[in-house]
Structure 1
Amino acid sequence: MKSKIYYILILGFITTGMIACKKDFLQRDPQTTITSNVFFQSTADLQTYSNGFYSQLSPSYDDINSDNIANYNASGTVDLMVRGGLSSANAGGWSKSDWGNLRKINYMLDHVKQVKGDAAEIRHYVGIARFFRGLFYFNMIKSYHNVPWYNTVLNSEDAALYKPQDPRAMVADSVLNDLTYAAANILPGGTNTRITKWAALTLLARYALHEGTFRKYHDEVGLTNDYQRFLDVAISASAQIMKDGGFSIVGSGGEGYRALFSSGNLSGNKEMILWADYGKELGVGNNTHTVLDYTWSLSKNLADTYLKTDGTPFTNTPGYNTKLYTEVFAGRDPRMKETIVNPDFRGPNNTTAPFRIKPTLGGYNQIKFYPRSADLMLGWVMNYTDLPIFRYAEVLLINAEAKAESGNITQTDLDQTVNLLRNRVQMPAMTIAVALDPVLSATYPNATATNRALLLEIRRERRVEMACEGLRYDDLVRWKSGKLLQDSQQGMYVPAMGALDVTGDGVADIAILASPNDESAIANVPEDIKKNLSKYYLKDKDGKDQNFYLTGGTSGFIAFTRDRDQPRNFIEPKYYYRPIPMVETVLNPALKQVFGW
């Protein structure tokens, strides 16, 4: 225990020294009495130092900024951008603090040669550092396209600090090299709350799929003739995990799916490649309760994507577009009810009273990741559910998609990937001869593959299986489907203003009304029901619009006044990238904006 505390203190001194640097953030030694010559002596030092990297990789439990979201009460870079408000003058990123993580990683790699110890163990920690450097630059490429590549800590006077961006092709290959090294040298054993060989292979597969499909669909980067080798890496990395990793799809039915996201203990879960450990005894909690009824809701578009239990598209159903909230969940993929709040939902602190949805958020609120036990949900940053970071389902989907994009997928491939996920929730198997869904075809008009219908169904499967896990925005970007981000997403269908039953018990629970001055739509509702209604108004008492409206005036889909009054627009290819802040281009004139920024 004492040695553990010692190393934590040493790490703290080093980190403090880094923060306290008076020169540029890429300079050599931290200004502290704990110098590199003293600290980097053993593999235990490498372990302690590399523990500081883990804050760069955290679980995600939302799909904010994507078409999976109908309404988001806050704002962010993507929202600002599609409403025309983002420019190099107000953009964030690229500052000293943004590059600080890279400096810490390269600092360790610069000093690892002085460490004494087992060579394989040293390579293991070098692999972890290169894993995080690969992750850092993966995110930078996604944001800025061309970025300067640094693989060492530089002096503040070094001319390389003021160099222009390196080409995407060069940086992308460097990331590939880092992640390939990590996957080859990080040891396979140990706890899955730390980076293992399998986590490194998962990030390698995710990155290779992203870069391969991005190159395939984004002709503006001039790399469409060099995408297949990345897809091949995605296939081989995912196949290695499938063959040798010992992971499996666990659980049965909707409850088995739910347990992946609302469990107090994931330590024995064979689907978890990397997970975050939260617990009251650790003093570490999360805020997953905010997914429900707080600042965002899920979209009708996402809800419509879930298949019926017979395996056919919901959008093929006559009248699907005017089904009531209490009707749309019947006979659907069980994952839908485990992702979107539904009439059957009961919260952990009130298991008898039905949950009433709020039309101000659209009606389709998120419940995936919501704690289902009162003892796991105790307050702000006091939820104690363990959360997945990498899970085996994504690996299977990467394998299937990369093979479909390559044009060499077989029924056996489907049975070993997608159909394992469908089997968990008792959904019909996907077949190689699946019919083309016209809705999916219109959603992704530029998708190309030998079997296009199958590729689109794999995209559907990825969307519903991985919903709210933070991947949807990147998927739309790499598929060059950014135009979907300008669509004003909607909520549930409302047949008429007045009282509505949203809990399925035949008794009205909420009412959507014109204003507090006009409640005529519920004039004939019995008093005993009327007094218990939760009322929501399209206008306030002064006639001002509220945050939502009905697309047909007195009926239709719930839509949002902000989208109506500040329409979204997605400019291609410009908005697939972010501007470098103007202040940074002044400090380094060699930096150049890309694609219209």
Structure 2
Amino acid sequence: MKQMKNICLVLALVLVIMGSCSKDYLEKYPITSPTESTAFQTYDNFKSYLYPCYGMFTDATILTSVTNGFPQNAQYRGDYYANYLTFKGTSQQNPYAWQTIEDAVSGNGWNFSYIRRINIMLDHIGDGSLSVEERNHWKAVGYFFYCYWYMELVNHFGNVPWVNTTLGTSSEQAYGPRVDRLVVTDSILARLKWAEENIGDFSAQDGANTINKNCILAVISRFTLREATWRKYHNLGDYNNYLQECASASKQLMALYPTLYTGTDGSPASGYGEMWTTESLDGIPGVILYKEYFANTNYYCNSSYIEHTSSHNVEMPQHTVDMYLTKNGLPIHNAANTQYAGDKTPYATFRNRDPRLYQTVMPPFRVSSTPGDAPGWSYTSDPGDREYIDIMGPNLSCSNPGIGMKRLPSQNWSATVLGAVPNFADGTSSATKAFVSCRSGYYVWKYYDQWETSFNNSALNTSDKPIFKIDEVLLNYAECMWEMGQFTQAIADETINKLRDRASVAHMTLASIGADFDPARDQSIDPILWEIRRERMIELMGEGFGFDDIRRWDKAAWYVNRQDYGMWINKSEITGSLLNTSTSQADNTGMTQGYRFLFNDPVKSGKGWLDKYYLYQVPTNEIALNPALDQNPGWD
């Protein structure tokens, strides 16, 4: 991607030079000016033409994209919609729980501009001086991008028009109806399989971090699991072939990427956390494709930076915290779980828990703001206040940028040390500051680190972000094998237990998972499948997969309709906030302690998930332009 970026910079420079020429020059094209019929002559022509398609990976309409900007507008949004996460604002209830999704007049992900671009290239694949191998390579790359975008169109809308040629404004196909979902998905799979078999090894010309066969396999793994389970749980049938393709693609990648990244910082599950906070992902085990960022030219706006400020909006509700196992591999509600310390203090809530919780949510601590054994802070007289400082590692430098990944105590963009966590947004304690605050008490810091440059109103974050990685593929394979009736202890060991080994969590042991393994689970779900889904939820937390997952499982209501509340606290710690000892809507103003009340119960308030939300609304402007398009159920 670096080489391709340089080509685009050269092209941009040429356009600037042309723009500075005389008026006469601008009134006519030079003889050598490329047109559609002459633009596809050389290998580099095709490379330059398809480079903008890499923008799909930062497109905000795809919930798993690594969009530049505030993380709450990117990957976090998919897990917010799934109600895995919440937003801080008192009026920022889950829009699907509270039925505040607005009608889509335009947009909504209904966009075929990438498809048109790729079709133009495919129409000219035989032009120029390319060899057969080179033509097949660029056709395969084109198919990859075409299918990547199309699988998201299907994910949003179900039936969509199938456009496999360049359309003019008068083309009859441009005003055709939506095509049956199975016809479209079978066509997507056929193109991905062709691409898998025909893409060449041209990394020397394209660059190492560009589309290759492994990227195609990663997309097949994601797409086929998504489509198979959607078809199964939405009673559409015809899903076995998709499961088989998921198993095949996933297994190939697992053989190619046998090692997980274990990190360098030394904190629990550091490889899990550092995947999102590492300067360069080049050569990092398990990374298949990543988005590169560079100082001064292409930096990642507001990733680590925003999580050092009061503008960060993302929290975790108590019901999601409760999904994290203890280190012995047991759910917190398991009757035999002696490691669970309860949740009546923040320190107890995090104690003995899956370290992926520490890497996702800032654990509790308290320090003195007076100078002591490190610049800017010192330990309090209570040894308990340093429990998680010792686990995560002390922030000894307190400079900006500092040293290391997720160190405690945390600090804001100006390097001012935060005195305590939890730090409630309406707290009055002198030990707290306005920045790095939340309502629930569980402050999400997935992209936070100490080393990236962060200062007010100028984000210069440069850590790379993964696009495809083996961690997801392991989870795809585990779930796929269960759906095929082939999930065994051996499969658990080569998938879920590899992830648990990195996190220092005890193995999943199938023989011990019975109906009473987690009394708090959705009782309609097989207990082993529940644990597979739990592992996916925890491992991919904050990466945007949640909303797509709960939709394909046909379980959105179970996740979205839960009332959101925060940690157990004393009322004296906050001002102007309600407490509740259950998930009721009661205004328990006479209580002195309880779970922090965040939002009302959506169902008891007459709201809740609507089944029409399983498919997105086709924009009304598109139907006005093309009356042959029909609307998805419930949106008329």
* TM-score in terms of structure 2 length: 0.75
- Give the whole-Å Cα distance in 1 for the aligned partners of 2:10 and 2:201: 28
Look up the match of 2:562: 487
Look up the match of 2:610: 571
Give structure 2 stretches of 5+ with no counterpart: 16-31, 59-65, 67-73, 365-387, 389-407, 426-437, 580-585
Partner deviation per Cα, 1:464-510 (whole Å, 9 max, x = no partner): 1111111111111111111021222222112x311xxxxxxxxxxxx
Look up the match of 1:112: 125
Please, which of 441, 446, 449 is the counterpart of residue 368 of structure 1?
A: 446
Contact 1:69 1:489 in 2 (8 A): no
- How far did residue 302 of structure 1 move? 1.8
Partner deviation per Cα, 1:94-145 (whole Å, 9 max, x = no partner): 66xx221211111111111213223223222211211111111111111111
- How far did residue 381 of structure 1 move? 3.8
Asked whether 1:590 is paired with 2:628, we answer yes
- How far did residue 9 of structure 1 move? 5.5
- How far did residue 11 of structure 1 move? 8.0
Look up the match of 1:51: 51
- Give the whole-Å Cα distance in 1 for the aligned partners of 2:504 and 2:628: 57
Out of 277-286 and 465-474, give the one that drifted further. Answer: 277-286
- How far did residue 339 of structure 1 move? 0.8
Look up the match of 2:26: none
- How far did residue 281 of structure 1 move? 4.8
Write out aligned runs for 1:240-319 (5 A): 240-243=252-255, 245-251=256-262, 253-289=268-304, 290-291=306-307, 294-316=312-334
Secondary structure in 2 matching 1:389: strand
Aligned in 2, Cα 1:160/1:5: closer, same or farther, shift over 3 Å? same
Look up the match of 1:35: 35
- Give the whole-Å Cα distance in 1 for the aligned partners of 2:299 and 2:259: 28
Partner deviation per Cα, 1:52-86 (whole Å, 9 max, x = no partner): 1001113254223122113354999x954543344
Aligned in 2, Cα 1:255/1:85: closer, same or farther, shift over 3 Å? closer
Please, which of 541, 559, 565 is the counterpart of residue 467 of structure 1?
A: 541
Instruction: Give, as a single letter, the amino acid of the residue that structure 1 aligns with 2:171.
Output: D
Out of 314-323 and 245-254, give the one that drifted further. Answer: 314-323
- How far did residue 271 of structure 1 move? 1.6
Please, which of 236, 239, 249 is the counterpart of residue 227 of structure 1?
A: 239
- How far did residue 326 of structure 1 move? 2.0
Out of 249-258 and 360-369, give the one that drifted further. Answer: 249-258
Instruction: Report the number of matched residues.
Output: 524
Asked whether 1:347 is paired with 2:410, we answer yes
Partner deviation per Cα, 1:222-271 (whole Å, 9 max, x = no partner): x22x111111111000111112x245212164223222111112112012
Aligned in 2, Cα 1:258/1:281: closer, same or farther, shift over 3 Å? same
Aligned in 2, Cα 1:42/1:194: closer, same or farther, shift over 3 Å? same
Identity of aligned residues (%): 28
- Give the whole-Å Cα distance in 1 for the aligned partners of 2:200 and 2:589: 56
Partner deviation per Cα, 1:405-452 (whole Å, 9 max, x = no partner): 1111222222211111111122111123231365867644444xxxx3
- Give the whole-Å Cα distance in 2 for the aligned partners of 1:552 and 1:67: 29
Asked whether 1:236 is paired with 2:248, we answer yes
- Give the whole-Å Cα distance in 1 for the aligned partners of 2:455 and 2:350: 26
Look up the match of 2:487: 409
Aligned in 2, Cα 1:328/1:321: closer, same or farther, shift over 3 Å? closer
Write out aligned runs for 1:528-567 (5 A): 554-561=592-599
- How far did residue 563 of structure 1 move? 6.1
- Give the whole-Å Cα distance in 2 for the aligned partners of 1:554 and 1:478: 42
- How far did residue 337 of structure 1 move? 0.5
- Give the whole-Å Cα distance in 2 for the aligned partners of 1:340 and 1:249: 22
Out of 462-471 and 340-349, give the one that drifted further. Answer: 340-349
Asked whether 1:200 is paired with 2:216, we answer yes
Look up the match of 1:165: 178
Root-mean-square deviation (Å): 3.2
- Give the whole-Å Cα distance in 2 for the aligned partners of 1:6 and 1:338: 38
Write out aligned runs for 1:211-226 (5 A): 211-219=227-235, 223-224=236-237, 226=238
Contact 1:71 1:560 in 2 (8 A): no
Please, which of 512, 518, 527 is the counterpart of residue 574 of structure 2?
A: 512
Secondary structure in 1 matching 2:262: coil
Asked whether 1:436 is paired with 2:514, we answer yes
Instruction: Give, as a single letter, the amino acid of the residue that structure 2 aligns with 1:469.
Output: E
Contact 1:298 1:364 in 2 (8 A): yes
- How far did residue 184 of structure 1 move? 2.4
* TM-score in terms of structure 1 length: 0.80
Look up the match of 2:503: 425
- Give the whole-Å Cα distance in 2 for the aligned partners of 1:148 and 1:13: 37
- Give the whole-Å Cα distance in 2 for the aligned partners of 1:175 and 1:309: 41
Instruction: Give, as a single letter, the amino acid of the residue that structure 2 aligns with 1:455.
Output: L
Aligned in 2, Cα 1:4/1:596: closer, same or farther, shift over 3 Å? closer
Instruction: Give, as a single letter, the amino acid of the residue that structure 2 aligns with 1:571.
Output: L
- Give the whole-Å Cα distance in 2 for the aligned partners of 1:233 and 1:582: 36
- Give the whole-Å Cα distance in 2 for the aligned partners of 1:75 and 1:368: 24
- Give the whole-Å Cα distance in 1 for the aligned partners of 2:144 and 2:119: 12
- Give the whole-Å Cα distance in 1 for the aligned partners of 2:515 and 2:168: 57
Look up the match of 1:178: 191
Asked whether 1:399 is paired with 2:438, we answer no
Please, which of 345, 350, 356 is the counterpart of residue 329 of structure 1?
A: 350
Look up the match of 1:145: 158
Look up the match of 2:423: 357
Aligned in 2, Cα 1:136/1:470: closer, same or farther, shift over 3 Å? same
- Give the whole-Å Cα distance in 2 for the aligned partners of 1:586 and 1:460: 43
- Give the whole-Å Cα distance in 2 for the aligned partners of 1:34 and 1:398: 44
Contact 2:301 2:459 in 1 (8 A): yes
Instruction: Give, as a single letter, the amino acid of the residue that structure 2 aligns with 1:588.
Output: N
Contact 1:585 1:592 in 2 (8 A): yes
- Give the whole-Å Cα distance in 1 for the aligned partners of 2:208 and 2:231: 32
- How far did residue 51 of structure 1 move? 0.7
Look up the match of 2:23: none
Instruction: Give, as a single letter, the amino acid of the residue that structure 1 aligns with 2:241.
Output: R
Look up the match of 1:29: none
